[in-house]
Amino acid sequence: MSDDPGDDMLGWDESVFRNEHVFEIDYLPETFKHRETQMETLKYSLRPAVRGSRPLNVIARGPPGTGKTTATQILFDELRAQTEVQAVRVNCQVDSTRYAVFSRLFAEIFDYEPPSSGISFKKLFSQITDRLVEREEVLVVALDDVNYLFYESEASDTLYSLLRAHEAHSGARIGVIGISSDLDLDVIDELDTRVQSVFRPEEIYFNKYDQTEIVDILRERVDRGFHEGAVGTQVLDRVAEFTEEQGGDLRVGIDLLRRAGMNAEMRASRSVEAQDVEKAYDKSKYVHLSRRLGELTDSESALVEVIAENDGERAGDIYEAFNDQTDLGYTRYSEIINKLDQLGIIEASYTNVEGRGRSRELTLQYDSDAVLERL
Ligand SMILES: Nc1ncnc2c1ncn2[C@@H]1O[C@H](COP(=O)(O)OP(=O)(O)OP(=O)(O)O)[C@@H](O)[C@H]1O
Ligand SMILES: [Mg+2]
């Protein structure tokens, strides 16, 4: 028996990966294919800002993992490097109230956090606009995952303040890019009429990538991330099929590639095979779920947990368990149910109960073990 690993076996100091970073969540791709029209419309809308005028407002919509955030980041990086425009992206999953959004803007513009002792919204707002006017800067704000502002009923107030800034503070020039991945949400329709009357955005749609586009984009990632020959055409096709199965979300494909690579390494193999992809899919298919659960507050997670343990039961019964655990009242409970429903984590459907009228039934949209495991 020899200790020599065969030619197709990996040694301890070897890897199938050339650069594993390209599969990380915050990696900004070097090339951004199949989004030419969307990028053109975005640039067209932002161009006035470069000339010192107020840019056109934009609503960008499309299913998850279709490049909306990436498009904005690429453009914002260019703006920061080549122009005087202040470009700030706010993640509304994290900053989901008007006050939080403006605190984030403040921190980005001034390079330090606003006083934590709490200053009034009015003050926060005028400090930002004073600074813009004083420096003659145009501000472009990307409200990423703006749907979260709607779930918290903060969207109208936030947009109203941003869009009317030039009226309240003469000379302030602010443009807004709202990004939503909730296709059931009609962004314009859901705003108050006072906002609708000042908000006539350009609309940009990020459609799902088709199979060939997915392969094309992932091939590039493979070439950068893996050693030559580690991922064959058939394996990549399989990854693309799975990605398509999960609504064309590229995150699934990228996660699959990384996990499949790790599975190949576990077998000490130099090449990724179909079996590595199949095995990875059991985890990768839940990237949506993990991402959604990761952004929930403690009380929201607590409710998901209670629902997972009482799947399919009536809202009234689940409330008892939720209240025992969190002490929160029925109003907050209902709000959280609506949010989880809009996020697609649960479905809340009305059923008729004998003698008790209509009642809501709460069902998880995912396998309950998969949910509990990730909480
Ligand atoms: N055309 C593309 N070329 C290369 N990589 C891409 C492309 N489109 C998307 N990606 C990659 O896919 C992943 C998801 O993209 P992104 O985060 O921009 O999607 P999104 O539309 O903002 O999704 P969500 O609505 O869920 O926030 C990222 O890792 C990104 O690098
Ligand atoms: Mg995004």
- The CATH architecture to which 209-285 belongs is Orthogonal Bundle (1.10)
Token pair in block for residue 353: 């109960």
pLDDT in tens, 123-142: 999 999 999 999 999 999 99
Distances (CA, A) of 314 to 118, 299, 305: 41, 19, 15
Find residue 272's DSSP bridge partners: 231
Among protein residues, the one with the nearest Cα to ligand 1's atom 6 is 67
Distances (CA, A) of 276 to 31, 261, 320: 27, 7, 44
pLDDT (0 to 100) of residue 2: 44
Instruction: Classify strands 357-364 and 346-353 as parallel, antiparallel or unpaired.
Output: antiparallel
In CATH terms, are 36-205 and 209-285 the same topology? no
pLDDT in tens, 219-241: 999 999 999 999 999 999 999 99
**Predicted confidence (pLDDT) at residue 5 exceeds the cutoff of 80:** no
**What percent of the chain is predicted at pLDDT more than 90?**
86
Rounded Cα distance, 43 and 60, in Å: 13
Over residues 15-34, mean pLDDT: 96
pLDDT in tens, 66-97: 999 999 999 999 999 999 999 999 999 999 99
* Amino acid in the structure at residue 56: L
CATH code 1.10.10.10 for 296-374: yes
Candidate from 35, 69, 91, 252 with most ligand 1 atoms within 8 A of CB, to mutate? 69
pLDDT in tens, 255-293: 999 999 999 999 999 999 999 999 999 999 999 899 889
| CATH class of segment(s) 36-205 | alpha beta
Least confident of 1-5, 71-75, 273-277, 302-306: 1-5
Among protein residues, the one with the nearest Cα to ligand 1's atom 13 is 251
Nearest to 316 by CA among 333, 338, 299: 333
Nearest to 285 by CA among 257, 243, 236, 342: 243
Q: Is 65 exposed, middle or buried (0-12, 13-18, 19+ CB in 10 A)?
A: buried
Is 351 labelled as part of a ligand binding site? no
Among protein residues, the one with the nearest Cα to ligand 1's atom 7 is 67
pLDDT in tens, 51-71: 999 999 999 999 999 999 999
Q: Which residues contact 349 (CB under 8 A, 6 or more apart)?
A: 360, 361, 363
| DSSP conformation class of 9 | B
Distance 77 CA to ligand 2 centre (A): 16
Parse the chain into domains and list their residue ranges: 36-205, 209-285, 296-374
Over residues 294-308, mean pLDDT: 93
Question: Between residues 140 and 352, which one has the greater pLDDT?
Answer: 140
What stretch of H or E contains 227? none
Query: Is the CB of 232 inside a 6 Å radius of any atom of ligand 1?
Result: no
Over residues 344-362, mean pLDDT: 83
